[in-house]
Amino acid sequence: PAPHPLLILGASRDRDRGPADPLALALEQLQKGQTRVTELTLLPLSREDCAQLLGDTLGADPRTLAPLAALVCEKTHGNPFFTLQLLSTLHREGLITFDRGRSVWRWNAYRIRALELGEGVIELMLGKLRRLPAITQEALKLAACLGATVELPSLIVAGGFAEDALRGALDVAVREGLLLQFEGLYRFSHDRVQQAAYALLEPEARAATHLRIGRRLLADTPPRLLPERVFTLAAQLDQGIELIETREERIAIARLNLLAARRARAASAHGAAIRYLQAGQTLLAPEPWAVDHELAQGLHLEEAESELSAGRLDAAERLLAVLLDHARTPAERASAYRAQIDLHTTRGALGPAIDSASACLRQYGIALSAQPTTAQLEDADRTVEQLLGEHAIEALLSLAPMRDPDMEAAMNVLAAFLPTSYFWNPQLHHLVACQMVILTLRHGLTSASTVGLTAYGFELVITHKQYARAASIARVALALVERHGFLADEAKVCLVAGVAIFPWVEPPRSLYTYVERALRAGRRAGDVVFVCLGLTHRCMLALAAGERLEEVDRAARTAADFNRGIGNEPLLLCVEVVQRLTQALRGRPPALPHEGLEEEAFAERVSRQPPFASFWYRVRRLELHLVLGNRAAALAEARLLSELIVAQRGQYGEAHAVFMVALTLSAHGEEAPAEEQAKWKDELEGHLAFLKNLAAFCPANFLAFDALVTAEVARLHGRTEEAAEHYERALRAARESGLIQYAALAGELAARFYRSRGLRTAADAYLEEAWRAYQEWGAEAKLRQLEQLYPRMKERLSRGLPHHLYAEPAQLDARAMVHASQVLSQEIVLPRLLEKLLRSALEQAGAERGYLMTLEGGQPLVRVAAQLTESGIQVSVLGEPVAPGAELPGSLLTHVQRLRQPVLLDDASQPSPFSSDPYFASLRVHSVLCIPLVRQADLAGMLYLENNQLAGAFTSERILTLEVLASQAVISLENARLYQAAQETVRVRDDFLAIASHELKTPITAMKLQVQSIRKVMGTRAPDATTEGRLVTLLGTFERQVSRLAYLADEMLEVSRLKAGALALALDEFDLSSLVREQVDALAERLKATDCSVELDFEEPVVGQWDRARLGRLITSLLLNAMKFGAGHPITVRARVTGDFARLEVRDRGGGVDRADQARIFERFEQAVPAYNYGGLGLGLYLARETVRAHGGTITVESALGAGATFVVDLPLRRAP
């Protein structure tokens, strides 16, 4: 069945949504995932709306009520709730009445107009509330103090009510529609009702009422429930602060506010946290530091961090200054300095951040130089490697926790300082990362250790190009975050891993996982620095990963708004250059002119920021000039960018910059002055070597870069065949990795290459690829440029088969397409799949005739033919595939096979590139369509369709449907091929089992006869005692090995019989316990050899109807299994009757079976341990299971590692007829 659509409705109050607001980000993600999101702004009711509402309410014609609607709308300003309450009041006061005689509604317009409503709906509701019983009013007043929703027990405590009396009072409010009741909770039906109930309290009594409620609730709260109820308690007590007189109570409530603030911060409710913290400070006024220094320090620090998380940087700065003035201990100073570093980093003030970090770390004996020397870096590297040399990377997971609070404080400061250190000077970042790893390995693990490990992994990428080792360290850091719950630093670890380490080893789109996780963690922890960085990197990653430019622009706007809001100029500029690029490529103002005052002013802004801002500015300008073909401007930008690349080592931007510089140099290589040729050649070769190294580590990210630069270098040196091969390779690699922008660039450069050689057909084919890719990317300005350069190409695309065929998905018959895809996806037998595929194609296309071809050895072979007849579609599956002959147009098939592009002829009888084909020359053919079936850029087959009754029969909608169908067909064909190969493998294996078992049985039988003959001879002669003893021993060994071979052969033969469905049972009635004793006796020697005793526990008799021989083999198999895995330990066998079943249990005392393996061990050739440790074919338990199933029973295992295993067999006493 087709998937059911899902509609989600949500409502929220009007509010300003910041760019990092969870709701705004969630809506953005939904839209990015192609989910349609519709936002409705609910405006006040108009007069017409009011008239309709009155008509529905009063059961009258809205037109007759228009004057009343005007009056009501004027009084209520279109508020729906106010409107309904006013109607109720007017009716109750007799101002609206029903004239039964004339069956019309009447109203007193003069008195309604004269009504004084004061505060509007609140005044109305107050009148309604004052008519309620006194106890109901009192209950509603206290309920309003507690909030929109209140629990009955809380209200009982708050007011000191008797439960029955309170329930009765609240029932009155429920009947009046003022409260809603559900599951022990009461909720005000509207916030205006709550406001009116609260207004019943005299203003001068409100503070005392809240304080009384808070005190009563606090006295009723056990300590274990305090964190759960802290918000309710603080909300009540804080409103009575001025009435609290004792020092002890003020300190206690201040502590309560600190707890509430920390819980609010954990939920990212930074505004609420600030209110709690300010209330706590008020309680300690006027001398908070003298009243309780530790509590004052906690309140000020939490408020500073909350203000910072809320983006209120000036307020945070003032609080941090107070904290540093009053700090008594290194730990107190460290916490303030750490927040101060975050503050300066958020502002992009790197110098002050370094000053704060240095001042803090000096108190722990850690000296940091803003400009580390090479000797310092080498010494730090050596120390780390010496310490790491004592641990495997995975051993870091087992590090003991850090016990020294001073070192932990220093680690937290270093972690906060890492982003600043990188932006200031990459060498300083290197030193800080090493210092953090050294402290971790010497003093133990703390949350900040995960940040240090990830930063060190980044340095391995930058300095040593050790991508795999860096990724291993990053994964260990992520594992430590999860294992120890280091949530405060999760954002830092995820972001650095996602944008600085994993881009070298993982596909581009997988990196979103880490960036999105970093964003969520940063918002949750209030880590505004990493929210800034996360939003910035998300938009840059979207551009790098080939997202549509519209999506990139949306992500960039979100990041720009956030960075602008908190004043982070360097990151804002990085995002703005992305915006300028996307706007230019989409043809939206402002563009990026290569000269002009506006651009000069922007460049001046960039020049005042750290080097990374200039780097990204130059990268984006070069990217724009490359795409738009501004060769001279691109060369100028490449020269400037080359000087900045070294400062961005290790960032994923480095690879992009090298790639674009290399393309620019290769484009100008032939024109370079003679004196620069050698220099350019060396630079190009260096860039190419760098890209090849990256492609070897992560083809998904960098193979397209390597291939395209290789193609351009080959073109430059006249190696045309090599160039052609690598253009195709670059295009394919970019497509497969989703790097649509580089697929476009590869297609365009390849087209230019072929056109320069006079190969117009190939050039046009590659230009089509580029055109489609630019269109998919959303580069409208580039498409307009291509239209001007190649006007005939646009005409060709509009007449031929453009990628999207100008049909929108909404035009498709979605139900038919889903049904056809389901039919294909459910079929795995190849002949039936081919038949269904061609039948579906004819049905969807409206074709008369069709052929399905698959490629074998590079040649197309017809597998299925179909023809529309009067009785329906007749499909013929060829027993042996044949090469297409005169019944198909060879030139057209060759064209599709070579270019892997569909061909549509609306009327083949008219002139076309294929008119000379003998097929078209001899027949009058109209509509023709041939679609390639492409699997990961490899041609799997072709679909050929005709309609000779109608020209233009294959519409764009039908063609797009067929392309979707073809995509599913390729997947289904591959599945069918794999299924066919698997079936053949199974058949070969089964044949082997049958043959091997029979072949083994033959010599075994002969060996048995020989043993019997020897024993017979020995019985007639009298050898000496020594010879006889030795001979008996040898024969015993020989006989045991023969028995073992026979047992294995029997197992294999039994498997063959099972596969053939030939497991017949010879049922007989016997005692199961007697059979167990027989098998134990038969295995006496082997039990002795394995030092296993057998304990028998029977409830005799256990009589039933079973196949004695097969149950004997089953018991033997279970005993052998117990001996194998439990050697040296006793075995327990129990047999008893349980209802209509006999239960057999065999228990060993071996190593046990892991829960994950317990189902698998009953399958063919499966063992829970390696076969070379214990031997066997892995068939014993499989045959045991099949034997039990044949009897209608079950077999299970109960086990845990190290606790032995018990195999439980339940057999029906009588087999069901």
**What are the strands of the beta sheet with 938-947, ordered from one edge?**
872-882, 859-869, 849-856, 938-947, 927-935, 903-905
Is there a single domain that holds both residue 1045 and residue 1002? Answer: yes
Unique residue bearing structure tokens 């970093």:
518
Q: What is the pTM of this model?
A: 0.51
430 lies in a domain? yes
Note the pLDDT tens digit of each residue in 241-287.
999 989 999 999 999 999 999 888 877 678 889 999 999 999 998 88
Q: Pairing state of beta strands 1141-1148 and 1131-1138?
A: antiparallel
pLDDT (0 to 100) of residue 25: 57
Predicted pLDDT at 650: 63
Does residue 852 fall inside a structural domain?
yes
Whether residues 787 and 887 fall in one domain:
no
What is residue 858's predicted lDDT score, i.e. its pLDDT? 79
- Same domain? For 1051 and 1017 the reply is yes
CB 315: neighbour CB atoms within 10 A?
16
How far, in Å, CA of 259 to CA of 721, rounded?
A: 72
Cα Rg of the chain, angstroms: 41
The residue range of the domain holding 750 is 706-799
In a domain, 447, yes or no: yes
Question: Which tokens is 444 given?
Answer: 């133990």
Q: Are residues 1009 and 1087 in the same domain?
A: no
Average pLDDT on 281-304 reads 92
The verdict on 901 and 928 lying in the same domain is yes
Specify the higher pLDDT residue, 936 or 317.
317
How far apart are alpha carbons 153 and 669 in whole angstroms?
Answer: 83
**Lookup: tokens for 1197:** 């295992």
Which pLDDT value is given to residue 39?
A: 81
Q: pLDDT for 88-137, tens place per residue?
A: 878 888 888 888 888 888 888 888 887 766 556 677 788 888 989 999 99
- Determine, yes or no, domain membership for 402: yes
**CA 122 – CA 134 distance, rounded (Å):** 19
pLDDT at 426: 79
Of the three residues 1009, 1042, 1061, the one that is the final residue of a domain is: 1061
Average pLDDT, the chain: 82
pLDDT (tens digit per residue) in 686-702: 999 999 988 988 898 89
Write down the pLDDT at residue 817.
45
Res. 1172: pLDDT tops 60: no
Q: How confident is the model at residue 672 (pLDDT cuts 50, 70, 90)?
A: low
For 670: left if phi > 0, alpha if psi spans -120 to 50, otherwise beta; the answer is alpha
CA torsion, points 519, 521, 522, 527, in degrees to nearest 10? -170
How large is the average pLDDT for residues 722-748? 92
Residue 1170 has pLDDT above 60, yes or no: no
The amino acid that residue 797 corresponds to is L
pLDDT by residue (tens digit) across 20-54? Answer: 455 665 666 666 555 778 888 778 888 888 888 88
Residue 522 CB coordination number (10 Å): 26
Q: Identify whether residues 1038 and 1138 lie together within a single domain.
A: no
Q: Does the residue 1198 lie in any domain?
A: yes
> Is-contact 989 995, C-beta < 8 A?
no
What's the angle, vertex CA 1036, arms to CA 1031 and CA 1037, rounded to 5?
100
Look at residues 427, 517, 442 and name the one whose alpha carbon lies nearest to residue 474.
Answer: 517
Q: What is the pLDDT of residue 679?
A: 78
Contact of 1065 with 1193, CB cutoff 8 Å? no
Q: Report which DSSP code applies to 5.
A: P
Structure confidence by residue, pLDDT tens digits, 148-183:
899 999 999 999 999 999 999 999 999 988 899 987
Answer with the one of 526, 551, 580 that is the final residue of a domain: 526
User: Do residues 1087 and 1042 share a domain?
Assistant: no
Q: With bands split at pLDDT 50, 70 and 90, how would you rate the model's confidence at 726?
A: very high
- In the chain, the number of structural domains is 4
For the chain, how far is it from start to end, CA to CA, in angstroms? 39
CB atoms within 10 A of CB 47: 16
Asked if the structure places residue 183 within a domain, the reply is no
The two structure tokens encoding residue 302? 């939490």
* Whether 983 and 1091 share a structural domain: no
Phi, psi of 867 (to 5 degrees): -140, 135
The domain boundary, picked from 799, 817, 848, lies at 799
Does any domain span residue 648?
no
- Whether 278 maps to a domain, the answer reads no
Same domain? For 873 and 1015 the reply is: yes
State how far the Cα of 653 lies from the Cα of 659, in Å rounded to an integer.
10
At 448, list the tokens. 């900040």
Q: pLDDT over 70 for what percent of the chain? A: 82
| 1137: CATH | 3.30.565.10
- Statement: residue 749 has pLDDT above 60: yes
Looking at the structure, tell me whether residues 867 and 999 fall in a common domain. Answer: yes
Q: Same domain, yes or no, for 391 and 454?
A: yes
Do residues 62 and 49 make contact, with C-beta atoms less than 8 angstroms apart? Answer: no
CA distance 618 to 228: 53
Query: Residue 1019 is part of a domain; what is its CATH number?
Result: 3.30.450.40
β-pair type (1094-1098, 1131-1138): parallel
Q: What pLDDT score does 948 carry? A: 85
Read off φ and ψ for residue 151, nearest 5 degrees: -90, 145
Confidence label for 480 from pLDDT (cuts 50, 70 and 90): very high
Are 1136 and 1004 members of one domain? no
- In this predicted model, what pLDDT tens digit does every residue of 951-980 receive, in sequence order? 888 876 677 667 767 766 666 666 667 666
Q: Where residue 813 falls among pLDDT bands split at 50, 70, 90? A: very low
